[in-house]
Amino acid sequence: MSMGFIVGPLVVFMIFVAPLWLILHYRSKKHASEGLSGDDQQKLQALVARAEQMQDRIVTLERILDAEAPQWRHKQ
């Protein structure tokens, strides 16, 4: 009696759950290894451009401060 109680759910698991789980697992692995999507790539490029703009602004501000207050870097 207890053997049938175990075999039934095990068969259902092996026929339906295990293959579906394996398919989804390897599909997600494949998707993760493909890299960034086109939209993500565009967002990343926009962030890089913004970071470069900010870096240019910081350099400009540091030049202004160096000219107007040469000791600003040494102040605490």
**Quick one: DSSP state of residue 1?**
-
75: three-class secondary structure by DSSP? coil
Most confident residue range from 1-10, 55-64, 65-74 = 55-64
Identify whether residues 15 and 30 lie together within a single domain: yes
Q: What is the pTM of this model?
A: 0.51
Range of the domain at 41: 36-75
Identify whether residues 24 and 45 lie together within a single domain: no
Identify whether residues 21 and 40 lie together within a single domain: no
Residue that wins the pLDDT comparison between 32 and 70: 70
Tokens describing residue 73 = 């870097």
